[in-house]
Structure 1
Amino acid sequence: MTVKANVTLCVLLWPTEGNADLLREYEDDVLALVPVYGGRVLSRVRALPGQDAALPSEVQVIEMPDDDALAAYLADPARVALADVRDRVVARTDIVRVGAVPHGDQTS
C-alpha cells in the first residue's frame, strides 16, 4: 500500500497595477474550492498599504492531501472558468513546495 504525502504550498501573488482588490476577490473565489478537494488554507496574509510593490501583495500557505487532489483543484471547472479574471488581475504567481520546520530546528 502506497501512502500519499500531503502537499504544502507557499503561494506568493502580485497584482496587476491597480488591481489588488480584484486579486483579493479572485483569490476569495478560487480558495473557496480548496476544501472540495480535501485541502486547507493554512494561512493567508496581505501586505500592508504602502509596502514595496516589488514584494508580493498576498501570501498563502495551502495544504492538499496529495498531488492528485492538487491537480483536481487546479482543473476544477469553476476555477478554470475564472482564468480570464486571473489573467487580468494577477501579474505574477510564485509557488514553492514547503514543509514544516520542527520546533527544535527553529533559530531566533
Structure 2
Amino acid sequence: MADAAIEAGQRYEDQVLALLPRHGGRVERRLRTDDAGTEVHVIRFDDRAGYEGFLVDPQRVALRAELGDAAPHTQVLEVHEV
C-alpha cells in the first residue's frame, strides 16, 4: 500500500474481503507487516468460478476505482498444499 494511503488501503481490504462469501470464498489468514504497508491474504474458494466471479464483482471493481492510484498493488499466487 502506498505510504500516504495505508488507512484507505486497509479500509478497502476490509470491504473487499467482506465480499468473499458471496462468491464461495473465505479468508484463511490475513497477515500485515509491522509498517502496515503490506498485507498477505491466504484465501480459498469453493471453485474456480467463485474466484473469477470475485474478480469481476461490481462492488469490488467500484471500490478499487474509487481509490484510483491509491489502490493497493495486488499480486496473486495460486498455490496448493504439499
Q: TM-score range by the shorter chain?
A: 0.7 to 0.9
The answer to whether the Cα contact below 8 Å between 2:12 and 2:64 also exists between their aligned partners in 1 is no
Unmatched segments (≥5 aa) in structure 1: 1-14, 102-108
- Root-mean-square deviation (CA, aligned residues, Å) is 1.8
More helix by share: 2
Looking at structure 2, the residues matched to 73 and 95 of structure 1 have their Cα atoms a distance apart, in angstroms, of 13
Kindly tell me: are residues 57 and 97 of structure 1, through their superposed partners in 2, closer, same or farther at Cα, counting changes over 3 Å? same
How many Å apart are 1:90 and its aligned residue? 2.9
Secondary structure in 1 matching 2:77: strand
Higher relative contact order (CA 8 A, sep 6+): 1
TM-score computed with the length of structure 2 as normaliser: 0.85
**Bigger radius of gyration among the two:** 1
TM-score computed with the length of structure 1 as normaliser: 0.67
How many Å apart are 1:91 and its aligned residue? 4.8
Unmatched segments (≥5 aa) in structure 2: none
What is the number of residues matched between the two proteins? 82
More strand by share: 1
Secondary structure in 2 matching 1:20: helix
